[in-house]
Amino acid sequence: MQFDLLIKGGRLIDPASGLDAPRDLAIADGHVAAIEAAIDAEHATQVIDARDCLVTPGLIDLHSHVYWGGTSLGVDADRLAAKSGTTTFIDAGSAGAGNFLGFRRHVIERSRVRILAYVNISFAGIFGFSQTVSVGECSDLRLCE
């Protein structure tokens, strides 16, 4: 069988299967096609040497703020995912009821990675943090009605 990608020699950690061992991992058509102690590199279009590296399923960031452009704390989830191995972000309340639809349409729906989000208790969500400004989203309790 021919593989699109072969990741060779890494320490493969897969909690779902209980695997924690040196393994080669082959990808074909965007899916894991084989996990073996040794897979011949001749069968792959691209080979990555993963010696001294961890190979894991996609990671989940359990506390993030990914409303990029909507809050001063927001980061670009797709950009961060490419550098961190994260495939799912849990946004910990960047948007409130007043701006959640914008967050969903402009960030969540357009993102290549998966974003799950909590809605902030404050109607406005997180909005006022910088070097010189610090306004807590609940500093005016009317925003929490």
For tokens 């990741």, name the residue: 7
Q: How far is CA 17 from the centre of its chain?
A: 21
pLDDT of res. 90: 98
Q: What per-residue confidence (pLDDT) applies to 125?
A: 93
Question: Rounded CA gap, 94 and 126, in Å?
Answer: 5
Six-digit token string for 118: 């909590």
Q: What is the pTM of this model?
A: 0.81
Q: How far apart are the C-alpha atoms of 74 and 123, rounded to whole Å?
A: 17
Domains of the chain: 3-55 (2.30.40.10), 59-144 (3.30.110)
Q: What is the pLDDT along the chain (145 residues), one digit of tens a residue?
A: 899 999 999 999 999 999 999 999 999 999 999 999 999 999 999 999 999 999 999 999 999 999 999 988 899 999 999 899 999 999 999 999 999 999 999 999 999 999 999 999 999 999 877 788 888 888 889 989 8
Kindly write down the DSSP assignment for every residue of 12-28, as one continuous string.
Answer: EEETTTTEEEEEEEEEE
* pLDDT of res. 11: 98
- Contact indicator for 85, 78 with CB cutoff of 8 Å: no
